[in-house]
Every structure is written in C-alpha cells, then in structure tokens.
Structure 1
Amino acid sequence: HQFILNLLLFLQEEILLLHFICHSLNCAIQVEEFNQGQDGDVVIGGLFNFHSQPQVINQMNVDISPLASCPCLSDRHRFPNFFRTIPSDVYQAKTMARLAILFHWTWIGAVIANNDYGRLAIQAFQEEIEGSGVCLAFSEYLNRETFEEDARRAATTIQHSTVRVILIFTWYTNVRELFLQLTKRNVTDRQFLASEAWSTSSDLLQDVAILNVATGVLGVAIRSARIPGFKSFLQGLKPSNRPGDLFLREFWEKEFGCSLPTTPSPLSAILSLCTGRETLQGVQNIFTDTAHLRAAYNTYLAVYAAAHALHSLLSCPDKDSSPSGNSSTCSSPYNITQKELLEHLNKVNFTTPNGEEFFFQGADVPAAYDLVNWKTSPDGSLKLVLIGRVDGLELHLNKTSIQWTTGTSQVPISVCSESCPAGTRRANKKGEPVCCFDCIPCTDGEVSNETGSHQCRRCPVEFWSNPGNTACIPRKVDFLSFNETMGIVLTTGAVSGVVVTTAVFVIFLCYHNTPVVRANNSELSFLLLLSLMLCFLCALVFIGRPSVWSCRLQQAAFGISFVLCVSCLKVKTIVVLAAFRSARPGAGGLMKWFGPGQQRGSVCFFTSIQVIICTIWLSFSPPIPHHDLGFQGSKVNLECAMNSVVGFAVVLGYIGFLACLCLLLAFLARKLPDNFNEAKFITFSMLIFCAVWVAFVPAYVSSPGKYSVAVEIFAILASSYGLLLCIFAPKCFIILLKPERNTKKQLMGR
C-alpha cells in the first residue's frame, strides 16, 4: 500500500495536468513503457499515446513523448510515428561539451551509466569536443546490477586522478552512491557536471550526507516554465467535484488529516471527518508549486501539439471543395488516416502562452534547457538556482552567479598540462592525449604571441624575436662603430700608428743631415713614412656607419696608400742594387738611370697604375652600403658590398705583385754590406707583409658581417706596423741610443 501511495504521489503532478488538459480536449491518454532501446535498455521516460475517442479516429496510434530522450528515437526509419517534446540527449551532451570549452576545462573525467543513455551521451560529448583541445581522461561505467561496486571503483579513480571536473550521465540513485563513496574518501574538491537525469533531484539536494561533495554542481535541466491556469486549477480541486478521483481523495486526507465521508478508505477509521471547508488555497508543497514545471510542461506541450494537429486536420475552410496544390488535406471526422495525422503533426507550429514558438524538427523539438547550479543557502542546505538557459546550442549563462565546488566564484581549473605561455609552443608527450604536453621555448627568430600556441611563427627577414620570443622587433643595424670595444681597439691601433710614424718622421727630419738618414735615400724614407701614415689613417675610414662615399673612399685609400708604400720600398731596393752594380768595371753609368728624378718618377708611375685601377673600378661597379638580411640574428649587418669582386681582386693583386717583386729584389740584395743598405730589413718586412695578406684572404672570406671589416683593418695595421718597425726601428735606435755609430766613419767601416 505504501509503495503504491508513494508512486501516486510521485506521478501526481503529471496526472493532474493530464486530467486538467484532456478534460477539455476529450482525448484518451494511455501511459506505456517504451522498450525499444538498443541492447534491450528501457528508454528514459514513458510514452504518452494520444488517441481521440474511437468514434473519431479509428485504428490510429501516434506517440508523443514528454520524457523519452534517447537519441535512437530520432531515427525516422525505425520510429516513423514518434514525436517528443523533450530534446534528444545528444543536445545536452553537446551543451556540456560547450560548457567545458567555455570554461577552458581540457582534462575531464566521465562517470556514465552502462546503457544507451550513458554510451550515446558520451559518444555525442566526444564528437563535440573533437578538435577543441578537450580530452577525456577516463570513463567509468556504472552497471545497474553492480552499481555499488562500480561506484566504489569510480570514486577511487576520481580520488587518484588529476582531473578536477567530472561529467556524470547516470541516475540519481547511482549518483548518491558515488557521492557517498567520495565523502568517505574526503574528496570534496571536484566539480561535477550533471545531466538532466539528476540535476534537479530533490532527494540529492536534501541529502545532508553528500552535502560537502555536491556543493557547486553545475547541471543541464529540462526547460522549466509556467502553465497558465494550472495553479488555479490545482487550488480549486475538491474531492466533492471529482468523486471518482481516488488519488485526489488520498492526497486530500493526507494533506488535511481528515477522512472523507464517501468511499471509506483505510484511513477513515483513524481520522476525523472532513468539514468540507478545506481548500488548497495557500497550501505550499511540491505538488502545488507550479513555478518550475519541467516534465509537466513537456506533457503540456505534447497534449497541445496533438490538439493543434487535430484541429488543423479537422478544420476545412470549405467542406465541399477539395484541397489543391501542396496544401494539407482536410478530412472528415469519420475518415482520418494515420498519414494525414502525421502530416499535420509535422507541420505543427504555434506560440505557447509563454511566448515561445513550438514546432517539430522530424521527431525532435529544438534544444531548450535550463542551466542550474547547486548553491549553499544561508541555513547550510543546498538549493537549486537557475543560472542560464540553452537555446539550440547558444549558451545564455550568468557566470558571476555560479557558486563552484570551492564555494567561491573562482572557476576551477582542470587541465592535464598548464597552458603554454607566450614565447613557447606545445609539444605533445609521446603516448599521451593531446591535452598532455610540454612547453618548448621558441628558437631565436621565431615567436608565439599567445598562450597555448601549437607552433612558433618565424619573423620576417627584417625582424627578429625579442628576448622572450613573444614578438618580432626590427633588427638592429650592426656595423663596426667607434664606440664598441673592437672599434675602440682598432681605432687606438690606427691612431697609435699615426703617432709613432709622425714621431719617426720628426726624428728623421731633425737628423736629416746625419749619415744614417742620408745613407739610405732620405727622400724615399720621408715618402715612405708619409705613405705609412696614410695606411694607418685609411684604417679609420673602415670604422663607422657605411655610406656611399665611405665605401668608395676606404677601398681607394687602402689600395693607393699601400701601393705608394710598396713602391717606395721597391725603388729603395732598386737604388741599392744599382749603386753596388755601378761599382763594377764598365757599369759606371748605371746610376744615372736611377737619380732622384727617376726615383720619384718610378714611385709616381707604380702608384698611378693603382689610381687608374681604382678609378675604373669605382666608376663602373663601386662598393655600396648593403643590409645583409641573410645572416640570422637580432642584428642586420650594414656593410660595404662588393658589387665587383673582380675589381677588388685586381686592387689586391696589384699590391701583391709589387710586394712579391720587392721581396725578390730585396732578397737579391741581402748579402750586400749591411752598413750601406737596408735590404735585409726590407726582406724581412716584405715577408711579414706578404704573410699578413696571404692569411687575410681566407680570414676575410669566412668572417661574417662587421668581422670581415675588422679582419681587413687588422691586416692593414699589422702590415703597416711590420714595415714601420722593420725598416725604421733600427735606424731610430742608432740615432737616439747609439749616436756614436751615426758617423760616416762607422758607415764606411767596411
């Protein structure tokens, strides 16, 4: 008796609604269990088969369900006569997937019923999250026969998992057992996503044993709405007006604690008689609360859908005229076919008193859900709060009103790996889901300017990555400048060379009448010192920001200065050889060909050839400033590009030719008396000169950017210092430190 009473109390809301609506529509309603699910599972909810009275509709069975949500029922081939006013479970699964994406939950666990309800829902959930970066960490299945043991296993999995958000597709009884197991394990920091099967369960909301675990549940619920006139109908019910309603009689006696005089019941012997003045006005309980009707509202829509279809079917503007075109057929009340009724149901389209448009899409209706949240009320209990709605797949959610499992408004984080910051990229871990990854810093020249980037983007050639690899910044122009360490060192070397050469020039000028200076052709010595000064000075032209004129001047100054220098040494060597050859019999007139005029003319001739070479080179294909973008780095090399390598090679080749010729002549004169010539010093200086410039070529070619310029400057300074020290240091030593040897007697000693 108690079981039947509880069942009737549970179904009371739906039964009262059906009585209320069908009383005016004069339709017959049959409640059946639909058992056509896959694998023999019972599809959720009953099917309400609406039939008109037998004299109106014959042999017709069209099902309109307010609770059957199995996706399998959308198959028109298997269920051609089926309609429903509750969305398919596919839509609530997709809604949960969109919630996960919205709150950036990429690492989610699932506990599902091991039947069509759970399996089809999790399949739809996985299809929706595909490609969105959300991963399913685990799926625990609960069987109806062993749900207690399965709940313990699922609770253990949740406890040891790093997942913080759990999706649950199962019945409220299974959820209660799972929550009890989590309570025993003190697992209270998980966020649960609830399906409509338990998201509005009053039994769970009122269960104090699971309060700590259930706080903050976020769920999808059947759309709720008010039914116009239903509350007044309920409040106006009286057993005297409905003597055949046994449920109303039992409810009345239980609510008011009295016994009705008609049709004695088991309670009549212990209860006093009702006075007849009892009324449901002001009675507040779950059976009179019509503020949030869910299943009842779906039933209301189902009945009205049938009513509208019947009304359209039985209404003819002109009974004598037959329909034309593609318009719906008009039928006689005694001649209605199933095809006609289905046709009109498929075309049902009306606006509910709440202002919502209702129509069928095949067997289904457009997805419509409530989003609910289990919040803690001031008295410590849980209450169900509406926080948003779902229309189709559009979420309308008030995020700030959500209370999460932590008891705060801070959205919980559930990720396998923290999102990679800007400047890094994701690298999947081998053998693990895509949500589990490592963060690899972008290489130099590549950037990622957003979190969670899957790859780094290479900067354009004019740009380079900043230190954090988060943005591309313009590459700095790099050249050998005066204010950097290398530029300062080379500048100091060049200036020091000029100073030392000037000092030697002054010494020679002061002692120009001494035998040491005069004995070695003082005029060529002064010209050689001047050319060495120019060599040191031309090194400074290579330092600084390259420009059109500096690029042309540096190579011309270098080529001409060194040719002038080598020409002086060559002429000095020729003069020494000629002087000693003229001492032989029959060679007395040899020196007349190498007098001072001829010496100056020879230097000018050798130098003018280099001037011509440089003029032709710089006129047709001169070096120009060029930004070298090919070098990968944070800087762009600004250098003087050799448009004509041939021209540069000819300049170097001519210098090398003169140097080799000078070395050969000096080598031939090396055994002449030391006091009369400087051939040994010239030989040694030319060896240094040639060694420096032979080593220069490969070093110059292999050095990048400004370092090639530094190599050339170093070669200029090294060769210039070699000539200066080898040729003039011994003479300065005698002039300044050994003046007793600076006499004609000493020079003629041999």
Structure 2
Amino acid sequence: MKCSPLLCVCYLLILVLFITYYGGVWTRSSALQCRLTMTMPRFEYEYHKEGDIIIGGLISAHVQSEYSYRFDFGREYITNPPGGYVCSDLDFEEYKNILVMISAINRINKDPDLLPNITLGYHIFDTCNDPIYILGYATKILSGENNAHNYYCKGHGEVVGFIGNNEFYSNNALAQLLSLYRYTQVNYRVTNTGLNIVNMYPTLFHMTPEDRVRFETVITFLQHFGWNWVGIITPEDGSGDEESQELSKMMREHGICTDYIIQLKRNTVNDIHTSEFITGSKAKVVIVCGTSITNFYNFVFGLYSGAENITFIFPPSWIKLTDLYYLKYTSLNHSFIFVWPREKKLNLDVYTKGVTFYNCLTDPILEDIWVLWFKCLSPNPQKNLYYRENNQLYVNPCTGVRNVSTLFSSHTTHPSFIYRAVYVLAHSLHRMFMKKNKSEQNGFRHRLHKYVRKVHYTDPDDGEIFFNERREIPTDLILQSWISFTAPSLKTITTIQSPDYVPPEQFPNMSDPIFWRTGKIPISRCSDPCLPGSRKKFGSLIHKCCYECAPCPEGEISNISDSENCMKCPDDEWPNQKKDRCVPRVVEFLSYTDDTIVAIFSAVSILCCLLTGLILGTFIHYQDTPIVKANNRNLSYLLLVSIMLSFLCVFLFLGHPVDVTCMLRVTSFGVIFSVAVSSLLAKSIMVCIAFKATKPGSPWKKWMGAKLPNVIICVFSLVQVKICVTWLSISPPFQDRDTHSYQGKVIIQCNEGSVIGFYSVLGYMGLLAAVSFIIAFLARTLPDSFNEAKYITFSMLVFCSVWIAMIPAYLSTRGKYMVAVEVFAIMASSSGLLCCIFFPKCYIILFRPDLNTKTVIR
C-alpha cells in the first residue's frame, strides 16, 4: 500500500520516541548487501535482500554490556567504556544465526518444489538485545524508509513475518507490536513462559518448548538426589525474574524450597556479603536463571574459595560458558547445564573462508570480527577511534588473507533453530499459495499465522515439524554435566534427555565420583531426611523443607523417607519394630497345636468325662442297692449324664472358633448346667417332702414318686432352653476378630451378639443354683441316716463359689485367656458337682458295702 508524504511524516513523528538514528550512511553492494551506520558508541548493522516476499530478521549479534570483554588465547582484557552500557560484545553464535538465515533463504530460492516462481528476500538487523531498537527496526522493515506502520512505502516486496532474537524482553516488545497488525512472529530460542499467552500473542510461535518443560526436568533431577533446599541466582537486568518466580512456584508444589533468590549486581565481583551468604547456606545446589552476564565470571572467581561443594544448574542460554578454558579452576566445574541437541551442520565456509579484509567489508559484522580478533585498523576512522579509546591495541592496518572460519569452528555449535524457523514460514507460505484463494492472497501477511499454526511437514534431518497446543515445536532438551580435567579440554557427559517429563529411572548412575567436585554427591537440604518409620513434624518455620522427625504412632508406618504422614496398617497387619512396613498380626486363640493349656484342658476333660462315665456304670451296676435307690436313682443318672456332657462341651471352647461353635458354646453349657442344677433342686425338694411325708396323716405323701422330680427338671430346664432359643433368634453369637485389645495381635473370639442374652443365660443358671443351695442348706439337718442334702449343699457351695470367682476374672482378661477362664469354670464346677455328690456314694458302694444296706440307710 502506497503512503502519502503527509501520512509518512505523521508516523515518523510518532515513532521518534522509540528510536533515533545518527550519523552517515555507508553502503556497498555484494553477494550480501550490507549497510553500516555508525555512531559512537553504538554501531548499527543491517543485511537486506529484495524479493517478492520479505522475511524480517531481528537478531542480536552484539549485546549490551557494562564491560568490553574479550579473551585472547588465555589473556583477558577488560575495559570500562564511557557512558555505561554499550553494544560492543560480539556473540559469534548469533552472527552464525544471521548467516544460517541467509543460507536457508538462498536454499529455498533454489528449490523448485518450494515456493516456485516466488523469490524470498530478507531484512535483517542487529538489535543489540534492546527493546527500543527492536521496535524501531521492526517499524522500518514494515514501512520502508518512512517508518509508517501498516504502510510500505518502498513499493517492492511485501513483509510476511519476522524471526525474533533469543532475548525475552526484546521479543515481548516485538510481539506486542506485531500482534496488533497480525504479523507472524517466530522466536527461534526464547523459552520464557510469559510469551506463551495465546490470547495476548495470537501470531507468536516458538521453535523450542517453554521453560516449564525444563523446570519439570530440574524438579525431577532435584528429587532424584533428595535435594529440597536450593538457591536461585538471576542477573540484575531482570531477564530471570519471571523465570525464577515460576520455577520457585513449581518447586514448592513438589516439596522443594528456595532458600534465596539473589540478583547479581554490577559490582558483584567485590560483593563479599553475597559470597559469604551463598557459601554459608545449606543450599548446595544453585539454579541460575536469565541470560548470561559478563560479571558472573568475576563472581564465580570470588566464590571459588568457599564453594567446593556447590553445584550450579544453568539454562541453555549460558552455553557460552563452555568456551572458558579455565572452568576447571572455578566453581563451575562439575556443574550441570541444559543444552539443545546437536542438529544438522550447515556449511558456512562460503561466507567466511579465505576472505581478505577488504572482501569482508561487505559484511559489517565480519569486519568487526576481523578487527577485534586480528587487532588491525578499519578504514572507518570513527570505528578506529572507538576501538583505540577502549582497547589501545589496534595499531596495524588490516592486510592479507586470513581464514576467518577457524574462529567459528572453535566455538560450540548450536542447533539451527533459525534454519527451521525460515522453513516453517516457507512451508506455510507454500500451503497458502497452493490454495489459490485470491481473497486471502490480498493481505495474506495478516493471515499467515493461521497456516503456520497448522504447518506439518517432514524434514530429512529434523523429522516431523509441527506445533503443539502451546504453539511450540516439541524438541528434546539435554541435561549435561561439565567436567573439565585439563585446560583447555572440556568433557561433556550427557545425563538425561527430556521432551516433556523424565521418569527418575532414566537417570544414569550418578554415584560415580567423576560427576562431583568433592567425589561424592552433595547434600542440599534444610533438614536431615526423616527415615522410614518416622514422619515430618513441622514447626513454626515458614518453609516446609525445615522440620523435625517424629516417630509414627502405634499402628502406623512410613515406608519412604521424608514422609509427611504415617499410614495405618490393615486390620490383619501390624507395624514391625522399625515401623517401616506392616507384618501379619499374630493370630491368637486357644490352639490345639500352639497352646499347652489346651492339651491340659483336653486331657482333664476327657479323664473327667471317663470318670463320670465310670461312676455312671457303677451306679447302673449297683442300681438295686439302697444307696443308689436313695433320693431317686433316675435323677442321679440324669445328673451324671449332664456332668459328662458338661465336660465334653469344653471342646466347643477350644480350637479356632467359627460361627457354629460360637452359637453352641454358651447355650450348650447353659442348658446342660440348667438340667444338672434342676436335678439337684429336684433332689433337694424331694428330701424335704420325704421328711414331711413320714409324719402320720401328712398331705405330702401324695407328692412322693417320680412325677414331681420330672416336672421340676422339665419346667426349669425348658425356661433356659427358651432363653437360649430367643437369644439365638434375635442376635446369635458369631466369630469376631479383635484387633484393638493387643498391639500386633488379632484375637479370634466369639462375639456374644446380644449381651443381654448372654447374661440372661448365666443369670438364670445362677438363680437355679442359688435356689438349690438354699433349699439344700435348709434340708441338711433333717434327721436321716443318709441325708443327700448335705452333699448337695457342699456341691452348690462349690458351684456358686467357682462362678462368682469367675466373673471378675472373666471381665479382667482378653482373648484366649478369657476363654480359658470360662473353660476352667466349667470344669471346676462340674468337678465340684461330681466330687461332692457322687464320690461319697462311690466310696460306700466300692469300699464300704456294709453301709449299703437297708438297715443302715432307712
């Protein structure tokens, strides 16, 4: 679009606030058309080539610095130019990027399959990493000579997109300008997350992933070695402020704390306080953010004496540190740095090999390289004046032929992201023109970003090229260890490769002393790690990384170091002695194989049962004798059978309990003992009735006989049976696992189900025993030659004493010992009944048959 002189003048006045140009213009035509405008102390460099379509390039081959810094074969020269910061430091790698961009465009113009019949041109400026300059140069590229936005006054070639430099603030300023006019911008090596806001920068694309990918790898790397207390260093220029804040935030989310964030000042070389603070900190891992700064080298030299165990982690922008041969003498040795993978090598010798000084004058930056490196004079008197004022070194005219390409081969080769950026724009343009949509081709520069977003092609060397959802081309990032053994060699050991996330198992064995300056892995923690079996106990400190260690509570474990919480073991498990793992609980019950007392109970129960059976057989054998007939021999038989069954029901309490045995335990011995005690009650009542029936005309005679005892036994036993049936119907006993009574034990026991039912059975049995005891006690003095009431009284006394003593013992024990108390009470009470009632009779039957006569027993 043509612009009127008036409009161009208006826009020129508006933009005069951004940039001012000084000095004269010196121009020379060649294979590389170059323009050099020089004003002390700022030099301006431009490369341009006309074409049907123009790609703008804003690259920082020179950088701002406080010092003019140069290394010459091990000798260091530092000068302080007047006026503070100047654009005098030459970045060899960025100059190579200029040559790569030119080479890529020339290669595309020769490719008949890519953009046929269209010639690509370029306008490239050296921006000196200055946002003001980059805005001015962008405006000049967009509008031509008159600096009018949205008007191109030259009339030939149309600008379609820009390739930005590798510095955040300059690209941020450029992105804000180009987003307004929808011009496509491709950054070839800016990773700051602040440029990934799609809504704010819809036309901005990146050749490399954002910093978040690197941060994730850093966090995984720190976690791999257990480092949770780190420091961060950033330059004073603010290039690392946002990066350090984002990194700190992500580290906090993963339990890693930042001890300090220090901005290195201009006079850091003499900042003793900063050096002492860093060396005195427990943070032995220092992460460097931002762009490379000159005074960092001086800071490292001052830090060396007290930083033997500090490990630095650098971003990719600090790769130029590898050029320093004296790394082995500084704290940088054995540090780590992220680097981009090696990619295709482009032959740049055509631009730098075998040229004379006068030939290189067509390339203004190459002229500076020649002048600075070979220490000779330039034909430009202003430039000579500047270098003489700052270096006092250049005294000879520049003559002869020098192989300038050797200077570049001595520097580290970076991946050619700018080469890929040019081809991304070319493929997007090619796809746009292939659509042959005339409505889009009018003003296509404002729509190119839509095609860049969808670009997808295969490069023979780089593989598939496409943009992900963050408008980045996925690229591997390599973490390397710098190990310098002898100057000037530098050994680089690759430790990990990460596209997005790095699982810890992919880290190599880093215990090799070669990786660490002191021969062992440094410790970078605020507090010592809490070993398994303990947990973190946070106090009043701000950082979560500073804590004490507290042992896990009972029943809980921690099986990892630095656990914040302890975990409860499952119900069937319990912590081991170290509390670092759960082990199966000891299962406790009255076992036939493990408990000796079970064998004793079994043996005694069987012997007592056999003894009771023997007594029953004796009574049957002597059933016609007076002593057996006394007090109803059928009641004696029933009592002996009940006692025999009571000894056998002991086995329901032994062994592993199940639901069936749990239901039969209490109910069986409750019914059996109710029958036995009812038999004794019937005997006692019959003794009383028999005494009263001996009186003449007594009405009690009609109650004599077998009918009344049978009714008494049936009635009182059925009451117990009804209680048991009701209990089993409503809430029967069942097998239960008690995991709370004892630590480390699981008690297999019977749960009563209904406590009321359980105590109703015992209470009714106790009531029968008490009534039987009272009646027998009252009948004990009745005149009779063989008064069985005496023996019943003693038996009920033993019975009641056993069960009364059992109650506190039963309530004070747990587990198998509670069951043992029940078994003992059953066996003791049964034995008491057997001994007190039947042993005296057996003695008479077997040993005193003279007393077993009608004459003696009336």
In the alignment, does 2:741 pair up with 1:628?
no
Q: What are the within-5 Å matches in structure 2 for residues 147-166 of structure 1?
A: 147-148=268-269, 150=271, 152-166=272-286
C-alpha distance in 2, partners of 1:745/1:309?
A: 132
Judge which range, 360-369 or 523-532, deviates more. Answer: 360-369
Which amino acid letter does the alignment assign opposite residue 772 of structure 2?
Answer: C
- The 3-state SS of whatever aligns with 2:90 is helix
C-alpha displacement of 1:119: 1.6
- 1:239-263 deviations in Å (ceiling 9; x for gaps): 3544666876786689789999999
> What's 1:176 paired with?
297
Which amino acid letter does the alignment assign opposite residue 353 of structure 2?
Answer: Q
- Determine if contact 1:371/1:389 at 8 Å carries over to the other structure: yes
Q: What are the within-5 Å matches in structure 2 for residues 355-366 of structure 1?
A: 355=462, 366=473
In the alignment, does 2:189 pair up with 1:86?
yes
Pair 50,196 (structure 1): closer, same or farther in 2 beyond 3 Å: farther
C-alpha distance in 2, partners of 1:373/1:382?
A: 16
In the alignment, does 2:591 pair up with 1:481?
yes
- The 3-state SS of whatever aligns with 1:573 is helix
C-alpha distance in 2, partners of 1:645/1:251?
A: 100
Q: What are the within-5 Å matches in structure 2 for residues 707-722 of structure 1?
A: 709-722=819-832
Which amino acid letter does the alignment assign opposite residue 190 of structure 2?
Answer: P
- Determine if contact 1:573/1:662 at 8 Å carries over to the other structure: yes
- The 3-state SS of whatever aligns with 1:200 is helix
Pair 679,197 (structure 1): closer, same or farther in 2 beyond 3 Å: same
> What's 2:480 paired with?
373
In the alignment, does 2:795 pair up with 1:682?
no
1:100 to 218, 223, 233: 218
- The 3-state SS of whatever aligns with 2:407 is coil
In the alignment, does 2:413 pair up with 1:292?
yes
C-alpha distance in 2, partners of 1:701/1:419?
A: 46
> What's 1:218 paired with?
336
Pair 20,460 (structure 1): closer, same or farther in 2 beyond 3 Å: closer
- Determine if contact 1:31/1:47 at 8 Å carries over to the other structure: no
Q: Percent identity?
A: 27
2:350 to 223, 228, 232: 232
- The 3-state SS of whatever aligns with 1:287 is helix
Which amino acid letter does the alignment assign opposite residue 569 of structure 1?
Answer: L
C-alpha displacement of 1:329: 2.0
C-alpha displacement of 1:125: 0.9
Pair 362,666 (structure 1): closer, same or farther in 2 beyond 3 Å: closer
In the alignment, does 2:647 pair up with 1:536?
yes
C-alpha distance in 1, partners of 2:556/2:518?
A: 40
C-alpha distance in 2, partners of 1:307/1:564?
A: 104
Which amino acid letter does the alignment assign opposite residue 10 of structure 1?
Answer: L
Pair 437,508 (structure 1): closer, same or farther in 2 beyond 3 Å: farther
Q: What are the within-5 Å matches in structure 2 for residues 624-663 of structure 1?
A: 626-628=734-736, 632=740, 652=762, 655-663=765-773
- Determine if contact 2:188/2:418 at 8 Å carries over to the other structure: yes
- Determine if contact 2:531/2:560 at 8 Å carries over to the other structure: yes
- Determine if contact 2:483/2:491 at 8 Å carries over to the other structure: no
Q: What are the within-5 Å matches in structure 2 for residues 433-512 of structure 1?
A: 433-436=543-546, 455=565, 463-465=572-574, 467=576, 479-483=589-593, 484-495=595-606, 497-498=608-609
C-alpha displacement of 1:682: 3.2
- Determine if contact 1:22/1:28 at 8 Å carries over to the other structure: no
Pair 221,396 (structure 1): closer, same or farther in 2 beyond 3 Å: farther
> What's 2:28 paired with?
none
Which amino acid letter does the alignment assign opposite residue 183 of structure 1?
Answer: Y
- Determine if contact 2:377/2:398 at 8 Å carries over to the other structure: yes
Pair 155,176 (structure 1): closer, same or farther in 2 beyond 3 Å: same
C-alpha distance in 2, partners of 1:167/1:269?
A: 40
C-alpha displacement of 1:707: 5.5
2:717 to 610, 615, 623: 610
C-alpha displacement of 1:167: 0.6
> What's 2:90 paired with?
10
In the alignment, does 2:259 pair up with 1:137?
yes
- Determine if contact 1:424/1:440 at 8 Å carries over to the other structure: yes
C-alpha displacement of 1:110: 1.5
- Determine if contact 1:32/1:47 at 8 Å carries over to the other structure: no
- The 3-state SS of whatever aligns with 1:109 is strand
Which amino acid letter does the alignment assign opposite residue 164 of structure 2?
Answer: S
C-alpha distance in 2, partners of 1:662/1:306?
A: 108
2:442 to 329, 342, 355: 329
C-alpha distance in 1, partners of 2:646/2:339?
A: 91
C-alpha distance in 1, partners of 2:553/2:100?
A: 73
> What's 2:164 paired with?
65
Which amino acid letter does the alignment assign opposite residue 297 of structure 2?
Answer: R
- 1:264-318 deviations in Å (ceiling 9; x for gaps): x9999997996x6x452xx774334476046xx566677x4899599889x9899
* Stretches of structure 2 lacking an aligned partner (at least 5 in a row): 1-40, 42-66, 72-86, 107-119, 194-208
Q: What are the within-5 Å matches in structure 2 for residues 270-281 of structure 1?
A: 278=401, 280=403
> What's 2:239 paired with?
117
- Determine if contact 2:622/2:628 at 8 Å carries over to the other structure: yes
C-alpha distance in 2, partners of 1:89/1:400?
A: 28
- Determine if contact 2:575/2:583 at 8 Å carries over to the other structure: yes
Pair 58,19 (structure 1): closer, same or farther in 2 beyond 3 Å: farther
TM-score, reference length from structure 2: 0.64
C-alpha displacement of 1:470: 7.1
C-alpha distance in 2, partners of 1:246/1:666?
A: 132
C-alpha distance in 2, partners of 1:582/1:317?
A: 132
C-alpha distance in 2, partners of 1:309/1:516?
A: 123
> What's 2:196 paired with?
none
Pair 495,458 (structure 1): closer, same or farther in 2 beyond 3 Å: same
C-alpha displacement of 1:415: 4.6
Judge which range, 482-491 or 304-313, deviates more. Answer: 304-313
Which amino acid letter does the alignment assign opposite residue 232 of structure 1?
Answer: V
- Determine if contact 1:191/1:405 at 8 Å carries over to the other structure: no
C-alpha displacement of 1:73: 1.0
Pair 4,246 (structure 1): closer, same or farther in 2 beyond 3 Å: farther
2:494 to 374, 387, 390: 387
TM-score, reference length from structure 1: 0.72
Pair 380,727 (structure 1): closer, same or farther in 2 beyond 3 Å: farther
C-alpha distance in 1, partners of 2:450/2:240?
A: 29
> What's 1:563 paired with?
674
- Determine if contact 1:64/1:83 at 8 Å carries over to the other structure: yes
Pair 111,548 (structure 1): closer, same or farther in 2 beyond 3 Å: closer
- Determine if contact 1:464/1:473 at 8 Å carries over to the other structure: yes
